Structure 1
């Protein structure tokens, strides 16, 4: 929200009060920080302290390299939930050191410090590294902390009745010259958020708008720091869009709390962020295989499903997971957790037969927390009080999506248990995974939650957390801690703990594929390790060339799913079953087989991503090359793990431009070496794209011709050396993710080869 009209004027209808000076500094109650009393005008005489508002600014050490800042106007405002589940693995010790000199007061938390200027009548708080260089990261300068009223008030007595007056709290941190801002969830617009207004409010807006399914209140700066905004409520950011040199964060309320996280590298920032909100959850190796969907509004029954899977097997395209989308349920009865028996007379038997025949290993179904009133479960949930209500006691219903639909109230423990019971009935039928769709359109006006202590505005985004947590933990309880996989569309901070997510409803166009790349990059910079996309696009029917280009991109995401809206995504329906090597079936087969070969590398990198809070894929180039200014601008390419560079192709003729950072990079397919840094243009058929191996890499691949996703990642493998120097390593894992050893370059020799089994080979590709 903008509070000013240009640099000089206040916006029409708004009254703004700024913290003008630091009047007093005292220790915080925790003794881990300092509390600043900041009047909204300079206090020159005792009389200036009367009829005056103040802002309290509490600055505390959270843990090494992390400091929290909380701005408060009126301390007596009720603190309503829900709150983010912080430090889920335990809170590290916080050592705070406070020093005072003539120039100011400094709070130090390990590698990060905050210094409050000691000049009289000045408001200036600088966040900087704690080393002798004291590199400044960002600053709260004059008129950067305050509160605002709308409509504007002219007399303090008007605040006796606040029912029709909105109160906002805001802070403005400085943006340095050339600084770029990234993250804030799965955002499909420009990769660098400077110049944008961003509203953190989950909504179902597709991939071609400024709305987002996954609003994550965390951003990462190219200057070596990140910021986590500690509230699930609506947050509005003006990122160089109100004042070009500042990033403004505002919320409607009396308090605003955020954490500044020092890196200086993106890896360190994301690692510390994962301590704060939780590390990404692990996913089983089978989930990295190809997922095939029925698509959304297509017509399908048991015979159709069988034809899809037998057709894929006949074309040597292994399918790891088959997904039943919405119409496994009877129309108007979503989501009642019951197969439509007219289309699927024996679902348990069908699933059992599919698995026994070996044409698919796992089965997933679509669900959501919305209950249409035509379903029997609506009546049951309504009678038991499991649905969200209006303030007058009516069940909250609308005809958006499902007729007379109600929303499961997950603040009610009995409703949670009931919902899990519905899922368990699906597990009993052989369902292995759940697609948790929706959860964005959660009303916040005229609603009454079962838990009366929660604020409906804070529940809107937070619903994504409790919804996906419930389903994920139900899967863990049934199948084991590391075997749970859900396919979620909505998320908020902390949802990275419940993998995985996909990018929502994109069109079947090259522009939408590029939007999806930007969305995946931004979500990865928000602490999410695993991400997928609807291969071919969701809306519309992709022409063969887009389908094939998207297949290449999609099979190099961490997870890969064929899914559409009103058209199938099995390849032979896209190009009239073109049987040539350039056809859709051959293209899908090539890329599915390649991913199978890459599994020893991919699954090893997955474990490292979980430990470090890093995206596996899509991993933004700036994570691996933070000192390369160009890396912070790249939104059409990404890293798969730390060693493979991927540049999707968006042109029908196969032309693609990509950037290689410094060093000799090796084309995975041809072995050609290109020395970076610089931009390059190539033209590719459908069986290749720019896939380059980073110098100083040891790469372990499955054997030539490997088509399985799950196998022994240390037996019959191929070890490749790409300009590997002394100290280069590759961690070996089994197909459960357990570490089983390490390969290491020592001079010209690779140590640890004795850990490999079978007919494993070694090849020096580049030296």
Structure 2
């Protein structure tokens, strides 16, 4: 053991000494020093877990973040011994464990360094609070960039930052505020074109330094628990993201309506006001699928109740809204009002399900209802009880639930005191260990209840606090933001970061929760939100009584807002396909340009530009009065969406930004499926699927996923995958379609709209049949438009 003295509330630092022995058990390797044990587990050829027993005793191997479906699948691994190290080799990486001090070096097969310890693992006793503080320090490679860590409101590249995970109710946060609501202990490194990830599965307060204290060293540490991390090799960043999803789990497909437009306010009441809002959407022809009820729908803010005065007939109200195409989402917080006449409180206390202080007294604190107690969601019995409470909401017609205040937030305390005890699935721990998973487990219990009681419909859950793996059952939003241009910028960065941190189903409060935007800011925010997986306007009540709806800013802004919400609904099949990629493989729905062009160093520090799915590149208008914007395009051919102007990538281009437009580009070679205009999902049968096809030289591939948009028949094969292959030349366009699936869609035809043909087309051939002339009605300016039967397999245009 090597030690370094410190002072204050911490003990000396302990460092591993020489390896004295080792053993192998299947795909586990154990290395023993005089005091510390390293357990190295080969999960796959690109995923290795490192777990350290600081003083020779491992803690319980248990995780709320790791998916139960994680399977070990290494193709090959072997051990080699060298004079100064042990080498564990797979088909993709080589892991070297230094005999002198357990320090880790990971290279690719060719020997290029991917990740390397500086001092590596070390630890010290936490004298003031108990347990140990565990550290790991790494060398920063030349030009290395870092990404991830969830909702951090700062530049995408984290190089030079110091950050922490401790779920915090950060009302009105600003740029660089830290910590925030979510606790996602996963980050990426990128250097020399090589991408990797580290998932530090520790629920205590965790901290990260990406070269702030020393510019050549990165580190991560926790104030309790074990040093337990998963190393993930790409080398492509998107492959790292998919492997992280393999570890922590993938999302289920949401109901299609959840990808529509959501309208929310604190608060819409009484019931007549909710009806008025719904009627206004339909009267103005602005699409909308979801209306939210904030805490004022309850009786004195008591969860699972309805105000007798404001909402005397909830079932009737929700039935009426449903008939007009609206799905109702209601808020549920963790605080249960202390009220002996309140059945939920009675049951919570009688069953012993409430959190307790160290001396056994109930954990009490003030939130919206006044004095409250709080369920211990780390207890599986409590989660099951909580799930059962959603039956009454489902029976009244509720289709989604919004979990708020679950960091947990307590008015006078900020959060729970550290002495609060939790079951932690049978372990009995303090709040120090449970804090970062409290909201995670609340939303899990909520999702379990909704799924059970809404069957066969799919549930929709949105939560403010989260831990790694929350994507398996919930969406998230970026929290209590502000109506400002800075927060519009933050919304873009935070949603990109959440996506690559496993939480793609995310959005911001469009327009800002705090304060009042003007019409320009709101419109530009709607434009950005059109390309976020969750699209929700939400605002706080205020003295002026201002309501933040799409029509609130006058006809000029309303017309633009309406056009973008309509665009959102036209793009639903593309968005749903992108969500399927996320659900099936863990591929982020939003992709910073560094994740799609990682060999182009120009992309590594970009914040504004991102891809939504495979084919759309977005760069929002980020300043008031902006007349034009410079946008960096990766290599390839790109079409400006609003004019079809063609650009060559690998450079910055400048496009105008009138109010009715935003920088939106389509990748050359793409097939973008679209619906006709809808007011809400399920409004009518869709008889024709539109295919917006963009010419691209060479061979390109696109995909369309489709199913019923609700229910679970897709899990038994009731879905379609439609694959498109474009193989075009300077004087010929060719598109092939391959269809696989069992789902019977309503539409019988495709309408192809082919953009950017570089030649004057004269004829076309379908499925090798007769040559047909292109008639004047096929030519819509520079676009060729042809209606084809759904079953077509190939079209050639010359």
TM-score range (shorter-chain normalised) is 0.7 to 0.9
Distance of aligned partners of 1:117 and 1:394 in 2 relative to their CA distance in 1, 3 Å threshold: closer
8 Å CA contact retained: 2:697, 2:727: no
What residue is the counterpart of 1:184 in the other structure?
A: 149
Task: List per-residue Cα deviations over 1:344-399 (Å, max 9, x = no partner).
Answer: 1211111111222x2x3311101111112257132442233221111222211012
Distance of aligned partners of 1:231 and 1:766 in 2 relative to their CA distance in 1, 3 Å threshold: farther
SS of the residue 2:308 aligns to: coil
Aligned mate of 2:122, from 146, 159, 174: 146
Task: List per-residue Cα deviations over 1:523-550 (Å, max 9, x = no partner).
Answer: 1111122111111111111111111111
8 Å CA contact retained: 2:36, 2:56: no
Task: List per-residue Cα deviations over 1:614-633 (Å, max 9, x = no partner).
Answer: 221x3222222121212221
8 Å CA contact retained: 2:670, 2:700: no
8 Å CA contact retained: 1:82, 1:462: no
Inter-partner Cα distance in structure 2 for 1:352 and 1:254: 49
SS of the residue 2:52 aligns to: strand
Inter-partner Cα distance in structure 1 for 2:520 and 2:562: 15
| Mapping of residues 613-628 of structure 1, within 5 Å | 613-616=586-589, 618-628=590-600
SS of the residue 1:327 aligns to: helix
Q: In the alignment, does 2:528 pair up with 1:528?
A: no
Q: In the alignment, does 2:697 pair up with 1:717?
A: no
8 Å CA contact retained: 1:33, 1:98: no
Distance of aligned partners of 1:307 and 1:712 in 2 relative to their CA distance in 1, 3 Å threshold: closer
8 Å CA contact retained: 2:636, 2:668: yes
Greater shift in the superposed pair: 560-569 or 84-93:
84-93
What residue is the counterpart of 1:137 in the other structure?
A: 114
Q: In the alignment, does 2:190 pair up with 1:222?
A: yes
Distance of aligned partners of 1:164 and 1:751 in 2 relative to their CA distance in 1, 3 Å threshold: closer
SS of the residue 1:264 aligns to: coil
What residue is the counterpart of 1:550 in the other structure?
A: 525
Task: List per-residue Cα deviations over 1:260-290 (Å, max 9, x = no partner).
Answer: 1011001211111111111122212111111
TM-score by length of 2: 0.84
Inter-partner Cα distance in structure 1 for 2:10 and 2:380: 42
What residue is the counterpart of 1:570 in the other structure?
A: 549
What residue is the counterpart of 1:515 in the other structure?
A: 490
Task: List per-residue Cα deviations over 1:443-491 (Å, max 9, x = no partner).
Answer: 2522233566232222111222221111112222233477121111111
Aligned mate of 1:271, from 217, 220, 242: 242
What residue is the counterpart of 2:772 in the other structure?
A: none
Q: In the alignment, does 2:240 pair up with 1:303?
A: no
Distance of aligned partners of 1:164 and 1:60 in 2 relative to their CA distance in 1, 3 Å threshold: closer
8 Å CA contact retained: 1:22, 1:36: no
What residue is the counterpart of 2:202 in the other structure?
A: 231
Shift of 1:646: 0.7
Distance of aligned partners of 1:321 and 1:185 in 2 relative to their CA distance in 1, 3 Å threshold: same
Q: In the alignment, does 2:734 pair up with 1:749?
A: yes
What residue is the counterpart of 1:212 in the other structure?
A: 180
SS of the residue 2:370 aligns to: coil
Inter-partner Cα distance in structure 2 for 1:712 and 1:744: 27
Distance of aligned partners of 1:762 and 1:378 in 2 relative to their CA distance in 1, 3 Å threshold: same
Q: Aligned-pair RMSD on alpha carbons?
A: 2.6
Greater shift in the superposed pair: 499-508 or 743-752:
743-752
Distance of aligned partners of 1:26 and 1:716 in 2 relative to their CA distance in 1, 3 Å threshold: closer
Greater shift in the superposed pair: 192-201 or 18-27:
18-27
8 Å CA contact retained: 1:646, 1:691: yes
Please identify which structure carries the higher strand content: 2
Distance of aligned partners of 1:386 and 1:102 in 2 relative to their CA distance in 1, 3 Å threshold: closer
State how many pairs are aligned.
715
Distance of aligned partners of 1:113 and 1:660 in 2 relative to their CA distance in 1, 3 Å threshold: same
Shift of 1:499: 2.7
Q: In the alignment, does 2:422 pair up with 1:449?
A: yes
Q: In the alignment, does 2:53 pair up with 1:72?
A: yes
Task: List per-residue Cα deviations over 1:653-681 (Å, max 9, x = no partner).
Answer: 13433211122210111101122222234
8 Å CA contact retained: 1:270, 1:614: yes
Shift of 1:326: 1.5
Shift of 1:431: 0.4
What residue is the counterpart of 1:416 in the other structure?
A: 383
Is there any run of 5+ residues in structure 2 with no aligned partner, and where? 409-414, 741-746, 759-798
What residue is the counterpart of 2:793 in the other structure?
A: none
Inter-partner Cα distance in structure 2 for 1:591 and 1:470: 35
8 Å CA contact retained: 1:33, 1:96: no
SS of the residue 2:564 aligns to: helix
Distance of aligned partners of 1:709 and 1:624 in 2 relative to their CA distance in 1, 3 Å threshold: farther
SS of the residue 1:728 aligns to: strand
SS of the residue 1:726 aligns to: strand
TM-score by length of 1: 0.88
Inter-partner Cα distance in structure 2 for 1:665 and 1:315: 34
What residue is the counterpart of 1:503 in the other structure?
A: 478
Inter-partner Cα distance in structure 2 for 1:706 and 1:400: 40
Inter-partner Cα distance in structure 2 for 1:335 and 1:83: 32
